Chain A
Amino acid sequence: MPELASDSVGVVTPQTAHFDDPLALACGKTLPSYTLVYETYGTLNAEGTNAVLICHALSGHHHAAGRHHEDDRKPGWWDAHIGPGKSIDTNRFFVVSLNNLGGCHGSTGPLSINPETGRPWGPDFPMMTVSDWVHSQARLADRLGIERFAAVVGGSLGGMQVMQWALDYPERIAHAAVIAATPRLSAQNIAFNEVARQAIRSDPDFHDGWYGEHDTLPRRGLKLARMVGHITYLSETAMGSKFGRDLRHDLGYGYEVEFQVESYLRHQGDTFSESFDANTYLLMTKALDYFDPAAPHGGDLAAALAPAQCPFLVVSFSTDWRFPPWRSRELVDALVRADKPVSYANIDSPHGHDAFLLPEPRYQAVFAGFMARVARDQQLEGS
């Protein structure tokens, strides 16, 4: 059996928390009861001042660090940044990472049973918003005895949840790290999401979202959705250096896989279409589209940010064209106009949007520096 590295949180076991108090949602509906699946790393101190919440992105989940079995092939999705001695140092911090409502990795979502009908929610699962997620996360914090997070941290859609935390629960978040995110999607972002949704919804196996009752999956649709999404996660440079125009074999003058990049995308799509729920994918893309905290303030983001009290770290990546650096600058400039404490770094990386998941020395230095400051502000031991 392979030894787990000394900077790994080790073998982790997901936990569940069930909630019976109904959750009123932005869409007007109410979730009567729900379950959240989550993992924790490190130990909550006696004062409860060292908790860090991790918010996941579009296709993420609760398994952010460590492995579920000693011989697990892959660690959690943010293992590069969470662990003993890493940016989010589990020797200091107690880390909470959950699967959001509407997800398909154990928390209540379209695959769960609707108590009213006794059958899976499917497409009837209520539309979720970033704000709904934040409210459910706050209840999980209550359950875990966390009054105030030392930091709430997230990349991409996770970063949007961090922003929402600072607005909805300013007294419960001491620091915010918003990475590779945007304060609102552009028309182009929404357009890509719509292509993904149309791919899924037009798959004959989709059955208006009731594919479970037909014992099938909209594999082709979900595969296409993932393929187009995946292109937006990588930079042109990253794709070029990874695949170039490499061929799988000699040109066959047909439509079978010829270029390596075709093979890679098809493989990514195939794997995803077997492991991710289409209804979840649809509602997650909608949550992205809907997020716009400035909208109720006539588009004035600085006005929207007025309730925020905590220091922010905002990080973007030079080749991210899904949420390019200037989208992060929008947030930074608004925070400055609102006179809020903020630091901003634009990290040179060839990896496009996906860079937020990867280790990169300068990214790690800035992130670790910020978390060291969090530890100091929270007066944690050894800081």
Chain B
Amino acid sequence: MRADLELIHGWVPEGARVLDLGCGDGTLLDALARDKQVTGYGLEIDPDGLTACVARGVNVIEQNLDEGLANFDDNAYDLVIMTQALQALRRPDLMLDEMLRVAGECIITFPNFAYWRHRLYLGFKGYMPVSKSLPHAWYDTPNIHLSTFNDFERLCRDKGLTITDQAVGNGEHEAHWSSRLWPNLFGETAIFRVSRAGDA
């Protein structure tokens, strides 16, 4: 499993009711159902991911996240997970509101644009960074709202949300002391666990 998914797997409580926004091929939901009796749905628009979910028996609904989550009731879930999709949404801030409407808690991962390699790339080469976590060229990237570890922290603060956990995932699958100390610089993937104010 991808490093960020493995970390999330550890954070999800037994028997939780979960929504996975942009669930890909259903790897995480499948593992959570098997290991932790988690129930819920994945949302996906990629045809291959969706077919893979159907074939492995993961509940998946073809739904564009930019259209919101109006079909899910307030507090209907324990947890909403969104991995590597926030940066591709039209309004990440509104999605955050939606996620914390349908559940008290959410887990979000996204590529940290302030990762040192990205800084070097931009700083020295003068081009938009292309890396393992940001594999697209600037003109065809789905990532229209790139942000940094610090940016997301600030958004949560501005919204009065509580960050209950934060971590970084690195492509090399290691949690080096440096990335724990300076996540904004050394974290390739940002991982946040956020709950509504007062819920924590």
Contact = CB atoms under 8 A, between A and B. Distances in A.
B51 A369 contact: yes
Interface string A339-351: 1011111100000
Interface in A290-334: 311, 313, 329, 332-333
A18 interface: no
B60 interface: yes
A209 to B, nearest CB: 44
Interface residues of B, number: 21
B31 interface: no
Contacts of B55: 369-370, 372-373
A71 B71 CA distance: 51
Interface in B41-82: 41, 47, 50-63, 71-73, 76
Contact of A377 (B57, B58, B76): B57
Contacts of A372: 55
Interface in B8-65: 39, 41, 47, 50-63
Interface of A: 311, 313, 329, 332-333, 336-337, 339, 341-346, 362, 365-366, 369-370, 372-373, 376-377
A362 B51 contact: yes
Contact of B54 (A333, A336, A343, A377): A343
A186 B56 CA distance: 34
A370 B56 CA distance: 8
Contact of B61 (A332, A339, A362, A370): A332
Contact of A343 (B39, B59, B71, B73): B59
B73 A311 contact: no
A282 B179 CA distance: 71
B51 to A, nearest CB: 5
A345 B59 contact: no
Contacts of A339: 39
Interface of B is mostly: mixed
A369 B52 CA distance: 7
Contacts of A346: 62
B43 to A, nearest CB: 10
B54 A366 contact: yes
B83 to A, nearest CB: 19
Interface of B: 39, 41, 47, 50-63, 71-73, 76
Nearest to A329: B71
A336 B71 contact: yes
Given A343-B60, A344-B61, A373-B57, A336 B50 contact: no
Contact of B50 (A332, A341, A345, A373): A345
B135 to A, nearest CB: 24
Contacts of B54: 313, 343, 345, 366, 369-370, 373
Contacts of A377: 57
Given A366-B51, A369-B54, A373-B57, 8 more contacts: A332-B61, A333-B71, A336-B72, A342-B41, A342-B61, A343-B54, A365-B51, A370-B55
Nearest to A313: B54
26 contacts: A313-B54, A329-B71, A332-B61, A332-B71, A336-B41, A336-B71, A336-B72, A337-B73, A337-B76, A339-B39, A343-B54, A343-B58, A343-B59, A343-B61, A344-B60, A344-B61, A346-B62, A365-B47, A366-B51, A369-B55, A372-B55, A373-B54, A373-B55, A373-B57, A376-B57, A377-B57
Contacts of A342: 41, 59, 61
A14 to B, nearest CB: 33
A366 B61 CA distance: 12
Contacts of B73: 337
A377 B71 CA distance: 29
A270 B105 CA distance: 62
A128 B39 CA distance: 38
